[in-house]
Chains A and B, each alone.
Chain A
């Protein structure tokens, strides 16, 4: 029991709170003071790098370890973040001014948002002069630089090229005695393979179609548009959703997806249901960027040896036989310290032949560094594709991938076009209009609406007006 005399010696205000409350308050004050006084610790590393793709991270890790082990190395810590987390943290950093990693490997749709402000406020360091000075510009496949080049300035080193080929079910097609050798255009392909569209369950509706394409897949729609020189933007970034070429292309594409003779099927990518449909042969042909090969090999192993690759059929005879799907870059934060060291690291990481081989071996991804394309690894046969040298097939078309402008409105343009296709498909089904020619007027109308929708978003951006109001 406490001594009453000793209790009287303690100042009265001490009893305002219980001993427990005092302990908590004391700990709070001490820990806050400690955090304020201690310098920010970054462990034994000099810089951090964010990567959001696990295969990339796995490939980088040993290479970065090797770099870090060199004497007097500028040590870099590669951190793996989930895609959404990294996107949010990066955009939060750029919009809210909170710190981000020194190096960020990011995908196109996220990077494009960094260009939504004035040029001097882009969150990435302008690498144009460094790339010129170090001769890197001449070593990189030119179209692969386009998504990271904004108003003539380059803000990232490209990670990839991502050319697109046509993957097809050789087992089903060859078993039917059909050869795709003479196929040059999409019309040729549909004509050759239409006999294989089959009603397997006997309900009168074909459940095998020629091509995997649906109105819900904005990626495939945009890949096909880019192949033909269409798409939401012109190479200089001008909005051009409503151009006649796009209308013709989406009318044609929609005609593939509707009616009793449709040739396209809904076989989603990246889902177990979609993989099952692929294995069952719900579609015979698929648009396959280089990175997709690795996903197929891992997720649909039962198709090993049954798939083949060929150049995409062109929209017109003599037209482009490839397209582009996806893309990442490595950028340096504009606020980062030690920018020269970071540049040296980034250059070494992205241009090393070790990395080039690894990203091909582990992810089937073609490097954008042209001089490395002679590496024999790209000529190795791949059993999944019946012994084809898939790397060489992709490299043969890598120079022809369409250029894509860097624009902050990239996602809006892509989505608006896809929504237009979806509306056109619904309209075609409700009116039972199935041929491209008849769909064309409605396609033009819907594209005009989509164009206006994105134009409205662009007009809201006060920084990109010809006469911005003086800033505060």
Chain B
């Protein structure tokens, strides 16, 4: 075998090697090690006690685990049912040919992605503050004339006062809505890019045919556009769900103790982190991690089934 041929044979391995080495070192080995870790109670490298499946059973019996799971599901639902429609609406808006300043809008909507999650979290923690936060000040200014209008009347009890608005505890007991709104600001533009790319591949011929057949904008969207972008939409839904289940930085930066009051903003990864690095129970954290992996694998399988069904149809 000539050296030239050997080097050509070696080349793909060399290209793959940097990723492979990092993947093995920082993903595969820790992943494998997390299995025995989840089956033991450890403290430091020298102290370890095998506990079998106790950590998994403990998680299933732990109300905080279920609170974290419920919050994470609610956040994921917020992502899918609020964020993605907003992203799609923005994409449809920017996909219009006659729109002036399309590039500027794209930049505006996408720009939150450029600042990073931690920065967005810090910013949101200021914006959502009680008394002096921008959101509460805006809400107070909005309700003030209405409240003055109904003052002394029967409707007064129904319109909150500006003082009540200023005291809205977004970061404490309204933690989950605050997280959903921040994520909306952060990711709506990002997901919009996927939808925009998909929309630009929708067949113009089909749209024009539908129009000639008398289909209105809603029917064209429902019967032509939506089926055409379905693979991308399913993919974006899966990405959003996975991203939602990995939610950590935003609550960690935004909320008091990273969870808000009464665990209102406790997410599954935050609970994993707190169990591992604030309670020092790495075994329990590993068990939660595996349970999270199983849930995400379930979503991935569901996505494949939906995609396959769509393709067959």
Chain A positions near chain B (C-beta within 8 angstroms): 12-13, 15-17, 88, 91, 94-97, 113, 116-118, 121, 123, 201, 203, 205, 207, 215-216, 218, 266, 271-273, 276-277, 408, 411-412, 415, 419, 422-423, 426, 453, 456-457, 459-463, 468-472
Contact = CB atoms under 8 A, between A and B. Distances in A.
A471 B43 contact: no
Contacts of A470: 49
Contact of B279 (A88, A116, A123): A116
A277 B132 CA distance: 10
B231 interface: no
B310 interface: no
Contact of B262 (A273, A419, A469, A471): A419
Interface residues of B, number: 48
Interface string B259-296: 00111000000000000011111101000000000000
A423 B63 CA distance: 15
Contact of A12 (B4, B62, B163): B4
A412 B263 CA distance: 13
B280 A469 contact: no
B58 A276 contact: no
Interface string B121-148: 0000000011110000000000000000
Contacts of A216: 169, 172, 256, 261
Contact of A13 (B7, B40, B257, B278): B7
Contacts of A471: 47-49
22 contacts: A16-B10, A94-B43, A94-B44, A95-B44, A97-B45, A113-B278, A113-B279, A113-B280, A117-B280, A121-B44, A201-B163, A203-B161, A266-B130, A271-B129, A423-B262, A426-B173, A453-B64, A456-B61, A460-B54, A469-B50, A472-B49, A472-B50
B205 to A, nearest CB: 48
A412 B279 contact: yes
B278 A411 contact: yes
| 9 closest cross-chain pairs (CB), A and B | A117-B43, A16-B7, A97-B45, A462-B41, A12-B3, A116-B280, A273-B132, A462-B49, A121-B47
Contacts of A457: 279, 281
Interface string B38-74: 0011111111111100110010011110000000000
A460 B49 contact: no
Nearest to A118: B47
B44 A123 contact: yes
Contacts of B167: 266
Given A15-B7, A16-B10, A422 B47 contact: no
Interface of B: 2-4, 6-7, 10, 40-51, 54-55, 58, 61-64, 129-132, 161-163, 167, 169, 172-173, 256-257, 261-263, 277-282, 284
A463 B49 contact: yes
Contact of A116 (B43, B58, B169, B261): B43
Contacts of A97: 44-46
Contacts of B172: 216, 422
Nearest to B43: A117
A167 B50 CA distance: 52
Nearest to A201: B163
Given A266-B167, A471-B47, 14 more contacts: A12-B3, A13-B7, A15-B3, A95-B43, A96-B44, A97-B45, A113-B278, A116-B43, A205-B161, A415-B257, A422-B261, A460-B55, A462-B49, A463-B41
Contacts of A116: 43, 279-281
A462 B51 contact: yes
B41 A460 contact: yes
Contacts of A277: 131
Nearest to A266: B130
Contact of A460 (B42, B132, B257, B281): B281
Contacts of B263: 419
B62 A456 contact: yes
B39 to A, nearest CB: 11
A273 B62 contact: no
A203 B280 contact: no
Contacts of A472: 40, 48-50
Contacts of B45: 96-97
B280 A91 contact: yes
A300 to B, nearest CB: 15
A426 B262 contact: yes
Contacts of A218: 257
Contacts of B284: 460
B243 to A, nearest CB: 24
Contacts of A17: 7
Contacts of A215: 261
B271 to A, nearest CB: 12
Given A95-B44, A216-B172, A16 B49 contact: no
Nearest to B3: A12
Given A88-B277, A408-B280, A273 B129 contact: yes
Contacts of A462: 41, 49, 51
A469 B6 contact: no
Interface centre among A453, A469, A470, by most B CB within 10 Å?
A469
Contacts of B129: 271, 273
Contacts of A113: 278-280
Nearest to A412: B279
Nearest to B11: A16
Contacts of A201: 163
A268 to B, nearest CB: 8
A92 B263 CA distance: 26
A400 B3 CA distance: 83
Nearest to B49: A462
Contacts of A207: 163
A471 B43 CA distance: 11
B303 to A, nearest CB: 34
A19 B284 CA distance: 50
Contacts of A117: 43-44, 47, 280
Nearest to B8: A16
A95 B47 CA distance: 9
Nearest to A267: B131
A216 B174 CA distance: 13
Nearest to A276: B132
B200 to A, nearest CB: 39
A84 to B, nearest CB: 10
Nearest to A98: B45
A472 B42 CA distance: 10
A123 B46 CA distance: 12
A469 B132 contact: no
B47 A463 contact: yes
